[in-house]
Amino acid sequence: MLSYGFMQNAFFVSLCISLLCPCIGIFLVLRRYSMIGDALSHASLAGITIGLLLGQSPVLGAFVFTSVCGALVEFLRGYYRKHTDLILSIILSLGVGTAITIISSGRLRVNAEAFMFGSVLTVSRADMVMVLALSIISLLAVALLYHQMLYIAFDEEAAKVAGVRVRLINYVFSILVASAISVSIRIVGVLVLSSMIAIPVATALQLGKGFRTTLIFSIFFSAVDIMSGLVFSYYLNVAPGGLTALFSVALLLTVILGKRLVSGLKRTERQ
């Protein structure tokens, strides 16, 4: 399997996804923004189609368009503080509306389906360079802004008192979300991309640990999900996106059941 160049590319990109998505996803989930992450991943389809229409890299197109949508989310937050679910509808309408308009115009020479479901065959060398650059820059930004982003998610007012420039970091965070989405679209696909952002974090949260340990476990679960999805998609000849999503849910349920089993055994021991 690894003798094929396209599988090597796919594994490399998967490694980037398994590192980057949980690092961004943990902040999205803990800020109760996982559905906004979902809306942004759907909006990235518009960026892909714009990139393809202009003859540019679809990953770059997705990154730019999703960054703009991320900034728009932050802007709209000021207007819909008590109705953040509405922002989801607005972003979905803008993104999916743009994508449908471009796809239905018949001007795209490439089939956009591979971006919806994910594909191991479509990862080009140019994509890999883009993915590597976005991953390195984004992971460095996360490392640099780790404590600021943690505090904005945990206690925004305390962060303000400590002098954190909350609004500026929220805009930077929007770009980081766009980056994680753009890195993932080739392999995971737009439709189930949120599974990579939210579910490994949801699985790690079940362990009831501190922030750093939860993040480490999120990365571990993310790697297990995506690598399993990739390997099985190769042998079953199906899209990796769907399988990755299924593996992530299966792992989540396994951890929940395992936790119940362990607590049940402990209770029995005590009696």
Partner 1 sequence: MSRKKRGVRFPERQRLMIRAENLYFSYSASQPFVLNGINFELKDGEYVSVVGENGCGKTTLMKLILGFIKPVRGKIITEARRIGYVPQKQGSVNSGFPITLHEMLDSYRRLLNIRDRGAVRDALGRVGLEEFSSALVDTLSGGQSQKALIARAMLGSPELIILDEPSSGIDPSSQKEIYGLLKKLNKENGVTIVSVEHNLEAAVLNSTAIYHLSMGKGHICTPKSYAEEYLKGRGES
Binding site for partner 1 (CB under 8 A): 30-31, 147-148, 150-151, 153-155, 157-164, 205, 208-212, 214
CA atoms of 234 and 171, how far apart (whole Å): 38
**Cβ proximity of 265 and 143 under 8 Å:** no
Task: Name the residue nearer to partner 1 (CB basis): 115 or 151.
Answer: 151
CA atoms of 255 and 260, how far apart (whole Å): 9
- Distances in Å between the Cα of 177 and the Cα atoms of 83, 142, 183 are 21, 11, 10
Minimum CB separation of residue 82 from partner 1 in Å reads 13
Task: Name the residue nearer to partner 1 (CB basis): 128 or 201.
Answer: 201
The residue among 117, 147, 138, 135 whose CA lies nearest residue 212 is 147
DSSP secondary structure letters along 122-157: T--HHHHHHHHHHHHHHHHHHHHHHHHHHHHHH-HH
The residue among 49, 178, 60 whose CA lies nearest residue 115 is 49
Task: Name the residue nearer to partner 1 (CB basis): 107 or 259.
Answer: 259
Tell me which residue has tokens 């803990």: 30
Minimum CB separation of residue 17 from partner 1 in Å reads 22
Task: Name the residue nearer to partner 1 (CB basis): 157 or 269.
Answer: 157
**Cβ proximity of 19 and 215 under 8 Å:** no
Minimum CB separation of residue 197 from partner 1 in Å reads 17
∠ at Cα 218 (215, 222), nearest 5°? Answer: 145
Task: Name the residue nearer to partner 1 (CB basis): 54 or 158.
Answer: 158
Task: Name the residue nearer to partner 1 (CB basis): 4 or 154.
Answer: 154
Minimum CB separation of residue 158 from partner 1 in Å reads 6
- SS3 at position 209: coil
Minimum CB separation of residue 201 from partner 1 in Å reads 10
